[in-house]
Amino acid sequence: DAGITQSPRHKVTETGTPVTLRCHQTENHRYMYWYRQDPGHGLRLIHYSYGVKDTDKGEVSDGYSVSRSKTEDFLLTLESATSSQTSVYFCAISDPGSSYNSPLHFGNGTRLTVT
Amino acid sequence: SQQGEEDPQALSIQEGENATMNCSYKTSINNLQWYRQNSGRGLVHLILIRSNEREKHSGRLRVTLDTSKKSSSLLITASRAADTASYFCATDASNTDKLIFGTGTRLQVFP
């Protein structure tokens, strides 16, 4: 899995609580992404990062924030979890250059349930 | 909204048959990529085709790209039960660093 570790793999949390998902890579890749996958919607981009402290929004960024203080770690935070954020979250990395010039390598996902 | 849409949504075939999946997209692209996802796993990159290419092969995979119709197809020849998975196309959005995925085709190959 291209040296990508997502943690936790599964999490159940209550509505209104903050949640942080972690993506750790050992590939020293510049670009990191967070996607969510839901039935009928495929994968949708939440946020991405093109370097340390450089991040940008994706298609479905509302209710999410990210941070990247080190090349190897990209954190996704749900500031106040809602049931609509129940999903499977995937981290991906790519290098060199931009995602449209090189393939993405995905982690195995975090299954988040908000009750 | 999705940049890419796959067709069909689901496909069931017997081992040995060929499987064809189609992808349509909305805006001009630099490249189009195809990915496979086995149940419970992350996506795995299969093939990338650039906008100036019309056809590309990789093993039993054949990808075509028609930029005039804004469409691509993925052909898996001589399918195997192990090819059972979901297949996604992905395109860049307006020359950005964002890769946008379609909703996928679920392929079931029966032994």
* CB–CB contact B30 A101 (8 Å): yes
CB contact, 8 Å: B2 with chain A? yes
Taking the CB of residue B10, how many other CB atoms lie within 10 A of it?
Answer: 10
Predicted local confidence at residue B108, as pLDDT: 97
Test A90 with B101 for CB contact under 8 angstroms: no
Which residues on A lie below 8 Å from B101 (Cβ)? 35, 42-44
Residues sharing a CB contact under 8 Å with residue B13, sequence separation 6 or more, in sequence order: B19, B79, B107, B108, B109, B110
Structure tokens at A50: 């093109």
Q: Could you give the 3-state DSSP secondary structure of residue B83? A: helix
- The larger pLDDT score, comparing residue A12 to residue B6, is at A12
pLDDT of residue B69: 95
B97 has a pLDDT exceeding 80: no
Check residue B40 and give its pLDDT.
87
Residue B75 token pair: 């052909």
Task: For residue B8, give Cα distances in angstroms to A74, B17, B24, B111.
Answer: 35, 16, 11, 21
Which phi and psi (to 5°) does residue A36 adopt?
Answer: -120, 145
Compute the distance between CA of residue A108 and CA of residue A24 in angstroms, rounded to an integer. 12
For residue B57, the tally of other CB atoms under 10 A from its CB is 11
E strand residue ranges, chain A: 4-7, 10-13, 19-25, 31-38, 42-51, 54-57, 64-70, 73-78, 87-94, 105-106, 110-114
Residues of B in contact with A42 (CB under 8 A): 2, 88, 101-104
Task: Chain B: give the shortest CA distance to residue A25, in Å.
Answer: 14
The distance from CA B97 to its chain's CA centroid, rounded to whole angstroms, is: 20
**Nearest-CA residue of chain B relative to A40?**
B103
Contact A42, B101 (CB under 8 A): yes
Confidence at B95, pLDDT banded by 50, 70, 90? low
Strands (DSSP E) along chain B, which ranges?
A: 4-7, 10-14, 19-25, 31-37, 43-50, 55-58, 61-66, 71-76, 85-92, 99-101, 105-110
In the stretch 25-64 of chain B, residues with CB closer than 8 A to chain A read: 29-31, 33, 35, 40-45, 48
Which of A18, A19, A50, A23 has its CA nearest to residue A34? A23
pLDDT-derived band at B1, boundaries 50, 70, 90: very low
> What are the tens digits of pLDDT across the range B3-56?
678 889 999 999 999 999 999 998 888 889 999 999 989 999 999 999 999 999
pLDDT at A96: 64
Provide the mean pLDDT of chain A: 92
Interchain contact, B42 vs A42, CB within 8 Å: no
Share of chain B above pLDDT 70, in %: 92
Q: Does B100 touch chain A (CB under 8 A)?
A: yes
Distance from CA of B54 to the nearest CA of A (A): 17
What proportion of chain B, given as a percentage, has pLDDT over 90? 75
User: What are the tens digits of pLDDT across the range A56-96?
Assistant: 999 899 999 999 999 999 999 999 999 999 999 999 999 86
Mean pLDDT of chain B: 91
